[in-house]
Structure 1
Amino acid sequence: MLIIGGGVTGSAGALAAARLGLRVALVHDRPVLGGNASVEIGITPRGETGPLVDELSARHPDGDLRARDVLEAETTATVFTEHSVFHAVTDQRRVTAVDARDERTGREVRLRAPVVIDCSGKAIVGLLAGARTLFGNESANEYNEPSAPAERLEQHHGHTLFFRTRETDTPVSFPDVPWAVDVAKDYANLGGQLVEPGVDNGPGPVAGKFRHPDPATRRRMLLPATHFWEYGQWLDPYTQGEEIRDHLLCAIYGTFANVKTLEPDTYANLDLDWVAYVPGQGEFRRYLGDYVMTETDIREHRHFIDAVATNSGAFCLHYPIDDTYDFRLKDWKWDTRDGLPFDVPFRCLYSVDLDNVMMAGKHISVTHVAGSVTKFMGNGAQHAIATAAAAALCLRYDVTPRQIGEHHLDELHTIIAKMSQPEQASFGATHISD
């Protein structure tokens, strides 16, 4: 089987598949695994985690995840890093293979498998195969969601760029960056830093008027939240990713220059310790499945007979853009609901249009509001474990994911439950050769 995307979600799916005895190829477009949790970005997995996620997301001293080591210890798992999927080979309603390109050499490889799980976060397999997707913020009346906007918005959660400053023992100069200050304007608050890989939302140096913010500012906006550095909500996340990243680089460099310039004596020794080159990616397109999960489903803890994953966390809704600084959020809503976990139905984890493609992570079949909580990396890993278990049954019985939901739910539930046990190293290793 194939898993596309080596973030926490895809890594968890690959590990679950390998421990179910399946031959699995994990294809990832970066040199390191972990996605938004990787050493390149550094967020910690939130939502439901569990033993597999904890094993994968433990960190080396340099901050890199142990995911690669864990997967390479599995004899039936093969990891292709720095490979970008650019084409899907289809036969009617099935994806029979994907073509991926080595980003260093340009060499292309065709990978065939009877089952594909898309964990890219971008619905890349579905888009290449022509599957229907969802995008943007649905209006309140589309799915009867109280937190949705009155009118549909063709926007998305933007990207965030992570950085860290430090105080050195000697003065540190910084060049004039008028091209960056044009973006940052007079902004001079470096709060919202990555303290270290896995620890975000750190404080930072503040200068000028930002030392004494307007008391009328809502308290939530005074937090040093990393995701307040966000941009690109109305740009195409697929084709304008570099533009979004470069704008955020200007915001960070310009803000750093402002802090140094406004209070040169205070911050003479201030240095930029690290600035990410890869942004923390926000929202892309979402697959259309047999069911679209909504905010109301989550709030009311709707019972699903085909529930296969437990998710947790708050609705995390971002409202762009600050009236003055376009790289800052205007507002943010962290709605913890009742604080209780909720169930995700299997019908949200396979494409309505493709008979052998399942999905896990931020692009499952949910609305924008529901996706603001199901998107957490720990939650996505639970989707991936469920789809890996379903893949084993698809191969065993030569059926589609939809048919698993119709005829093999009890067996699916049993496999998922056993994969969630802390002591579970391997289950039912039938070593199916796909």
Structure 2
Amino acid sequence: MPTLLDLGILVEAEAFDDFGGWVLDSQFELQMGSPYLLAHGNGRPVADATTTISIPDGGEYNVWVRTKDWVPSYHPGRFNLLVNGIALDTEFGANDRDWNWQPGGSVTLATGATKLALHDLTGFCGRCDAIFLSRDDKAPPEKVDSVERAWRRRLRGIPSEPENAGIFDVVVVGGGVPGIAAALTAARLGDRVALVQDRPYLGGNASVEIGLRPRGVTGPLVDEISKRTTDGDLYAKQLLDREPNATVFLEHTVYSTVTAGSSIVSVNARHARSGREISLSAPIFIDCSGKAILGLYSGAETLFGQESKAEYRESLAPAQGDNSHHGNTVFFRTRMADSPVAFPSVPWATKVAKDFSNLGGQLEKPGVENAPGPLVVSPRQTPDSAVQPRMKMPLTHFWEYGQSLDPYTQAEQIRDYLLRAIYGTFSNVKTMEPQTYANLEFDWVAYVAAQGEFRRYKGDYILTETDIRDHKAFPDAVVQNGGAFCLHYPGNETYDFRLKYWEWDERDGKPYDIPFRCLYSTNISNLMMAGKHISVTHIAGSNTKFMGNGAQHAIATAAAAHLCKKYKTTPQDVCAKHMAELRTISTAVSEAKIGRSHLKANL
């Protein structure tokens, strides 16, 4: 049987001692297999990422680096690997291939300490997943599957089974505004809650990594969550840290569930930096991921794409249903420096951005959107008379892409396409009016995309546009939502990273009821959901998706989890037998009629 030394030495980039100017990008782990380091310098090479490893047996080693050439033929993400200060001859990220183990030649290493460094050459999104030092010519496993995962576990000394991280009253997956609201509500009701978030920050699309502000019905709890520190981060983590009943698992990606019959028994999650895998058990689970991720793993029924007009008689629905959906968005901010700032040529962006030269729609700061930006009138710019008034506004979500792609398997492609569009547009502005914008530079560009639409759960009821417009009365009405129908239509004939049209239908401006039957799975007995993926049609979801609205769903589901514990029952049974009590608790939380200390004592 081969020893670990026979297999080689695996160095995960996310385990480097010092990231330097590189950033940890773990958002596509389920797609490409692993977190990785990203040289996100917006055209300025970033500082080296460095680490020191121990070589148990000196000799000659073959070097493999798992990387990606993210714009084939142009290679904007090139970098070197330095071994003990000497760069290998290979430029990595320049072989026209998607994620792959790129060979880097061989090196002779002495027993003991060896220093490795990732040296960025461009500042444009070079990426390194891992380095493998082997004693033979056999390439590491390329396919992302259970065999490859077991190979990594063994080389890193990670157990083959996840460690038990505890039994909770309720597990919440997804640390956006709905997930935070669910966890806070549960903890303050006296229930032991685990919140699992795949990012290093809480807030999801409202986090400091993205920066949107919650819309829809907000209220005191959302206002409490949404306060920001001076650096733009939400106060949410501090609020949860004060709750003895709450445990937060940051940078943990849920990768599977364990089920028994129609119930989830536990969820398994992997820590981005260490690779450590944990198992969390509970009688009730609340999915606030926005992706219906627990449902996909456990076999819950889901909905996807646009329903036809005939299916639910919705006025805003298309004549024919399809699988298109809201895309993702990348936010950015520019500024004028005190002196001229050079920007590299980006020929790999021209096919995307063409001559587009409008940098409007910036994020002014976290929580403040839709800021103007530099504009140079392009020869192909559509005359104002032909443009819908709303489309003339500098709105952040005009930078949107991926509506016809698979948001689960092509998210990295969507993010990268938007980065190419932003870099190309920035270059156009600087080159078309070089004197005016000589000092223009990027202040910030997000590498984490604001997520659009994924699959939605099917509950015991599917809410429709007509239900919302008619303010339909439900016997299981539990919370209220509000806001406009917000529909994004792609298809800009010249610039496919821009929306063609944006429907913003205010209705009558009044709030409407959400039935509890939309907040639990119709076929997984202990699974509830809150946020953009509740049981609604595509049109209805364009309204219920707002983060403030999702927080109201979350409050109701956390209150329902409390009643499931109290009565040792399921959400469906709570709906049938305990709606009055559920409404009482949900209203008390939403309207802050009780103190911040444990709500349980006040109800």
TM-score (norm 2): 0.70
Q: Is the 8 A contact 1:63 1:197 kept in 2?
A: yes
Cα deviation, residue 427, structure 1: 4.8
1:15-414 alignment to 2 at 5 Å?
15-209=184-378, 214-215=383-384, 216-414=386-584
**What is the aligned residue count?**
431
User: CA RMSD, aligned part only?
Assistant: 1.3
Q: For residues 353 and 408 of structure 1, what CA distance do their matches in structure 2 show?
A: 20
Instruction: Tell me, yes or no, if the aligned pair for 2:479 and 2:587 is still in contact at 8 Å.
Output: no
Shift of 1:18: 0.4
- Superimposed CA distance per residue, residues 321-347 of structure 1 (whole angstroms, 9 cap, x where no aligned partner): 201111000101100000000110000
Structure 2: gaps of 5 or more residues = 1-169
Q: For structure 1, which segment, 417-426 or 313-322, has the greater mean C-alpha deviation from structure 2 after superposition?
A: 417-426
Whole-angstrom distance in 2 between the partners of 1:141 and 1:171 = 58
Describe the shift of the 1:267–1:412 C-alpha distance in structure 2 as closer, same or farther (beyond 3 A): same
- Structure 1 distance, partners of 2:392, 2:311, is 34
d(CA) in 1 for partners of 2:380, 2:189: 55
The structural deviation recorded for 1:211 is 11
Contact 1:418 1:427 in 2 (8 A): no
Aligned residue for 2:553, secondary structure, equals helix
What amino acid sits opposite 2:541 in the alignment? G
Distance across 2 between alignment mates of 1:421 and 1:373? 21
Match of 1:283, as an amino acid? E
CA distance in 1, matches of 2:213, 2:307: 28
Could you give the per-residue CA deviations for residues 359-378 of structure 1, whole angstroms, max 9, x where no partner exists? 00000000000000100000
Residue pair 1:208, 1:262 contacting (<8 A) in 2 also? no
Task: Tell me if the contact between 2:177 and 2:203 (Cα under 8 Å) persists in the aligned partners.
Answer: yes
Q: Which amino acid in the other structure matches residue 220 of structure 1?
A: R
Deviation at 1:305, TM superposition (A): 1.2
- Which range is displaced more, 282-291 or 49-58? 49-58
User: 1:236, CA displacement in angstroms?
Assistant: 0.6
Could you tell me which residue of structure 2 aligns to residue 13 of structure 1? 182
- Over 3 Å counting, the alpha-carbon distance change for 1:55 and 1:198 in structure 2 is same
Quickly say closer, same or farther: Cα 1:39–1:119, change in 2 above 3 A: same
* Structure 2 letter corresponding to 1:243: Q
Task: Verify the 8 A CA contact 2:355 2:378 in the aligned structure 1.
Answer: no
Cα deviation, residue 164, structure 1: 0.2
Measured against aligned partners, the alpha-carbon deviations of 1:16-71 in whole angstroms (never above 9, x if no partner) come to 00010000000000000000000000000000111111111100000000000000
Letter in 2 for 1:314: A
CA deviation profile, 1:57-97 (whole Å, cap 9, x unmatched): 10000000000000000000000000000011001010010
State the AA in 1 paired with 2:600.
A
Taking a change above 3 Å as real, the CA distance of residues 95 and 212 of structure 1, as seen in their structure-2 partners, is: closer
SS in 2 for 1:309: strand
- Structure 2 CA distance for aligned equivalents of residues 342 and 143 of structure 1: 18
Aligned to 1:56, the other structure's residue is in SS state helix
Q: Taking structure 1 as reference, are residues 376 and 32 closer, same or farther at Cα in structure 2, changes over 3 Å only?
A: same
Structure with bigger RCO (C-alpha 8 Å, 6+ apart): 1
Deviation digits for residues 92-137 of structure 1 (CA, Å, limit 9, x no counterpart):
0100100000011111000000000000000000000011100000
- Report the AA paired with residue 429 of structure 1: K
Aligned partner of 2:600 in structure 1 is 429
SS of the residue aligned with 1:101? strand
Amino acid paired to 2:362? Q
Question: Per the alignment, in what secondary structure is the counterpart of residue 126 of structure 1?
Answer: helix
| TM superposition shift of 1:275 | 0.2
Aligned partner of residue 254 in structure 1, secondary structure: helix
Which amino acid counterpart does residue 256 of structure 2 have in structure 1? Answer: H
Distance 1:155 1:356 in 2: 30
- 1:429, distance to aligned residue in structure 2 (A): 2.8
CA contact (8 A) 2:488 2:501 kept: yes
Counterpart position of 2:172: 3
Amino acid at match of 1:142: E
1: CA distance, partners of 2:541 / 2:500: 20
Q: Is the 8 A contact 1:419 1:427 kept in 2?
A: no
- SS of 1:54's equivalent? helix
Contact 2:308/2:321 (8 A) holds in 1: yes
Matches of 1:204 and 1:210 in 2, distance apart? Answer: 19
Q: CA deviation at 1:245?
A: 0.2
Equivalent AA in structure 1 for residue 298 of structure 2 = A
Q: TM-score normalised to the size of structure 1?
A: 0.98
Q: Distance in 1 between matches of 2:280 and 2:381?
A: 57
Q: CA deviation at 1:422?
A: 2.9
Q: Flag as ranges the 4+ runs of structure 1 deviating above 3 A.
A: 210-213
C-alpha distance in 2 between matches for 1:293 and 1:423? 29
> Aligned with 1:74: secondary structure?
coil
Partners of 1:195 and 1:201 within 8 A in 2: yes
Contact 1:310–1:342 (Cα < 8 Å) also in 2: yes
Query: Is the 1:208–1:263 contact (alpha carbons within 8 Å) kept by the matching residues of 2?
Result: no
* Pairwise CA distance, 1:279: 0.2
CA distance in 2, matches of 1:324, 1:295: 32
Structure 2 CA distance, aligned partners of 1:344 and 1:309? 6
Question: For the residues of structure 1 that align with 2:375 and 2:382, how far apart are their CA atoms?
Answer: 10
